[in-house]
Structure 1
Amino acid sequence: MSEDQPPPAPELPRSIALVDDDRNILTTLSIALQAEGYAVRVYSDGEAALKALRENPPDLAVFDIKMPRMDGMELLARLREYSQLPVIFLTSKDQEQDEEAGLALGADDYIAKPFSQRLLLARIRAILRRAGPVREAEPGSPSPAIPEGAVIARGRLVMDPARHQVTWDGRPVSLTVTEFLILEALAQRPGVIKSRNQLMDAAYPDDVFVDDRTVDSHIKRLRRKFRAADPEFGAISTLYGAGYSFSDV
């Protein structure tokens, strides 16, 4: 580097938003995340968090479900109206229906309370690595270059991993990071049955334990999104006891 060239700008730390009405959890998690090098913002209720997430989106958010003023479910539903920000839910062990509902709304993952900080940090690292360093582009900003061969075209499905864009018959379909990776794993080999374990490996590359219900919920969400674009969508098939496959016919 010549003397006339300015030094490269330092990389900004990845940012995490914590939304929970339990001050002890906010304090404990903030300390743990900051020790890992993350920039942390904390919010004690959903209403305050929604405004802040819209104005200054982080790289990932962790939501509690049970909160005053606006609970985590409503917060996620409102957020998904305009953003695919990666979200992890914190739930109680006896709230299985909340876990399923959260995944159906578009959460990327969930962790049951009481939880291990080590497990949460592993899930955060996995999702951020899958999401990549690129934030959502500002309106009017130039599109990044697409590496050669990056686009996946399977019949009416087109997936662009470089831009995290998906279309079906030319109509855009908005997917979370986890949904995108599961669909990508299926679309890479049309007609080949992928087991739940194989899809977990594609979406959760850090050997983090995820149960079968998580993958099933993401598949239901994928079908629902594609059927909103095409009511006749049936490209994702279930072979009971074996897994799922994608058809490009």
Structure 2
Amino acid sequence: MKSYQIAVVDDDAQIREIVEAYLHKEGYRTIALSTAEDAWELWKDEPPDMWILDIMLPGMNGFELCRQIRKEAEVPIIMISARDEEVDRILGIELGGDDYLTKPFSPRELVARVNRLFHRVGSIRQAMEIPPVPSQIADTAIEVGELQLIQKERRVFWHGEEIEMTLKEFKLLQTLSEQPNRAFTRDELLTLIWGDDYYGSDRAIDDLVKRLRRKIKELPVDTVWGHGYRLRTERTGQ
């Protein structure tokens, strides 16, 4: 089994040492950093398999680092903060964080979340990268109006123009496109995209929808208030 490497970014040396000690007991490799600037250099040279990222850092803060990392890849990110503020939790999720912990936290709880997050990410990657049998299913294209998804190649086209998508964005769009006009609940989408052991907030789905709408401004994804989302095949008369 692969020994994952986790980057622990916190300006508190004691917290770094404690977190590293617990992760080592679980069999993970770690690298500790005290600034976001050093973490960004690590990302460019030797990206880790997961980030444990403090929000309140000197210089560039954790939010900005999370934003920059998320532009590049879907690597798992757990954000931690000394402030128990709802706005911080929401912002962390909206910027692409997968989970959020408030200081002081239990190192054992952190390790449990790390384990579950790796398990979930592994399940998603396996589902996305290994074609089902028969393989013709993965070769098919999904077309909903002007939207086209090439499943095996994980490519998205809108009015014939290719749109770049992250793994999670593609999975959400694929899920909605496979059953157009069906209203999915947020819980259903979380389970289908992250797995049934998801540990974070359902705001992650709202964040993905916002990102899709920014990339495809006329995408007919409706918010079903108090329920979730659906992809329409036809525009309403309004």
Length-normalised TM-score, structure 1: 0.74
Alignment counterpart, residue 53 of structure 1, candidates 28, 33, 43 = 43
Sequence identity, in percent?
A: 27
Tell me the distance in 2 between the aligned counterparts of 1:17 and 1:219.
28
Quote the Cα distance in structure 1 between the aligned partners of 2:154 and 2:27. 26
**More helix per residue:** 2
| Aligned counterpart for 2:100 among listed residues 105, 111, 136 | 111
Q: Match for 1:221 among 195, 211, 220? A: 211
1:8 — aligned with what?
none
For residues 94-117 of structure 1, what are the alpha-carbon distances to aligned partners after superposition, in whole Å with 9 as ceiling and x for unaligned?
Answer: 222223223333x14122214422
Equivalent residue, structure 1, for 2:9? 19
AA aligned to 1:50 is W
Structure 2 residue aligned with 1:239: 224
Residue pairs, 1:138-177, within 5 angstroms = 147-150=135-138, 152-155=141-144, 156-160=146-150, 164-169=154-159, 170-175=161-166, 177=167
CA positional deviation for 1:239 = 1.3
In the alignment, structure 1 segments of 5+ residues that lack a partner are 1-10, 136-143, 228-232
> 1:32 is paired with a residue of what secondary structure?
helix
What is the distance in 1 between the residues matched to 2:142 and 2:122? 25
Alignment of 1:29-108 (within 5 A): 29-92=19-82, 94-105=84-95, 107-108=96-97
Question: Structure 1: how far apart are the matches of 2:131 and 2:175?
Answer: 23
Structure 1, residues 101-136: CA drift from partner, whole Å, max 9, x if none? 23333x14122214422234322332243245999x
User: Which residue is equivalent to 1:186?
Assistant: 176
CA distance in structure 1 between the aligned counterparts of 2:15 and 2:150, rounded to whole angstroms: 38
Give unpaired runs (5+ residues) of structure 2.
none
**How many aligned positions are there?**
224
Cα 1:134–1:243, aligned 2, differ >3 Å: closer, same or farther? closer
Match of 1:129 among 123, 126, 134: 123
How many angstroms apart in 1 are the aligned matches of 2:39 and 2:56? Answer: 14
Query: 1:22 is matched by which residue type in structure 2?
Result: D
